[in-house]
Amino acid sequence: MSAAAGGALGSARRAARPFIGLVLVLILGVISSPRGAGGSIVFLSAGNLTDILLQQGEIGIIALAMTLVVIAGGIDLSVGSVLAFSASLAGLLLVRWAPHIPAGAQIAATVAAVLALGAAIGAVNGAIITRLRLQPFVMTLAAMIGVRGLTKWMTGNTNIDFGFDAAASARFSDIFSHKPLILSAWAVLAVAAHLVLARTTYGRYLRAIGENEKAAFFTGLPIRMARTATYVACGAAAALAGLIHAARSHQGNPNDGVAYELDVIAAVVIGGTALSGGQGSILGTVTGTLVLGVLTNVLRLRMVDSNVELMAKALIIIVAVWLQRRDRNAPSA
């Protein structure tokens, strides 16, 4: 005797749901798109589609790591602040620091330092959450506030503009705002995250820990290390997104990245990962990220007020979570 509602069929249906959502928004985009010269569909133009991917690139990259954090039963609210911190640090190192080394070396040192510090912030989050047993929401909220303060302090609360000439900062901007680079970075990280989650022991442990922490303890799983690693990944992802953000806006701005964590979490949730942990998929997260990007684009092409965009986003989140809940309440034997 078995309950098919909880069986393999049910999980396939659950996995398909964000995909259906994406298809629906795409169809909506095509239907509502303005027409260009010669009747072409503006929405489907290569330029527009690339725009969508690029505009979601930062959120998308962070969302990959956030998926791991959430699956293991945690949450990270500090990613927006870490993004601002990373962008500002890049500004400081590329513009205010004047070492006598070639621009390429300066850029490499900057990237290394920024990624390392982002990961370090994640490590602090993870250590305090797992050892002092602070709730992830509380700890990363504190980190969100603290890192933001640190960022404003270290820049004197001003932006650091990058140059447009041959200086290191200008070269950095060119490299890291290079569209194919951003998109391939996102794609490579997505594939890597998927493989880790689906095919490695580490990924299996994450799911088990998020599903039932007590049972994971009784199975001797390395709970602390696994959880901390997810926060380190999140910090590093936010740092990478910060580098891309700095390059695209040509400045390090300590006031950027506000509320990015909400967009990231929204993407993860719409993609079918439950905030309670234990299940989720990278494919779902990528789909969720794209749903948000396509939706924003569809509304903008129709010249809808940008405040309405926020309300539409809220609607999608509610619907996505509501559909998840119906799934979870299916009876089991």
- Least distance in angstroms from the C-beta of 319 to another protein: 5
Residues numbered 164 to 193 that lie near another protein (CB under 8 A) are: 164, 177
Contact between 81 and another protein by CB under 8 A: the answer reads no
Q: Among 15, 38, 42, 231, which residue sits at the site for another protein (rule: CB under 8 A)?
A: 42
Q: Give the footprint of another protein on residues 220-279 (CB under 8 A).
A: 220-222, 245, 248-251, 253, 256, 278-279
β partners of residue 41: 35
Q: Please classify residue 49 by burial: count the beta carbons closer than 10 Å to its beta carbon, then call 0-12 exposed, 13-18 middle and 19+ buried.
A: middle
Residue 21: CB atoms within 10 Å: 23
* Contact range with another protein by CB under 8 A, out of 128-136, 139-147, 155-163, 226-234: 155-163
- 53 lies in the binding site for another protein (CB under 8 A): no
4 binds another protein per the rule CB under 8 A: yes
Q: Which residues contact 287 (CB under 8 A, 6 or more apart)?
A: 18, 19, 21, 22, 270, 271, 272
Q: Which two tokens stand for residue 85?
A: 């911190």
Q: Which is nearer to another protein, 29 or 125 (CB)?
A: 29
Q: Does the footprint of another protein cover residue 20 (CB under 8 A)?
A: yes
DSSP codes of every residue in 123-192: HHHHHHHHHS---HHHHHHHHHHHHHHHHHHHHTT--EEPPSSSSHHHHHHHHHT-HHHHHHHHHHHHHH
Which of positions 93-152 make contact with another protein (CB under 8 A)? none
What part of residues 279-308 is at the interface with another protein (CB under 8 A)?
Answer: 279, 295, 297-308
Q: Which of 25, 79, 107, 119 binds another protein (CB under 8 A)?
A: 25
Amino acid at 192: A
The Cα–Cα gap between 115 and 299 comes to 35
- Shortest distance in whole angstroms from residue 98 CB to another protein: 19
Query: Closer CB to another protein, residue 124 or residue 274?
Result: 274
DSSP state of 274: -
**In the window 304-333, what residues touch another protein (CB under 8 A)?**
304-308, 311-312, 315-316, 319, 322-323, 326-327, 331-333
Q: Is 44 in the site for another protein (CB under 8 A)?
A: no
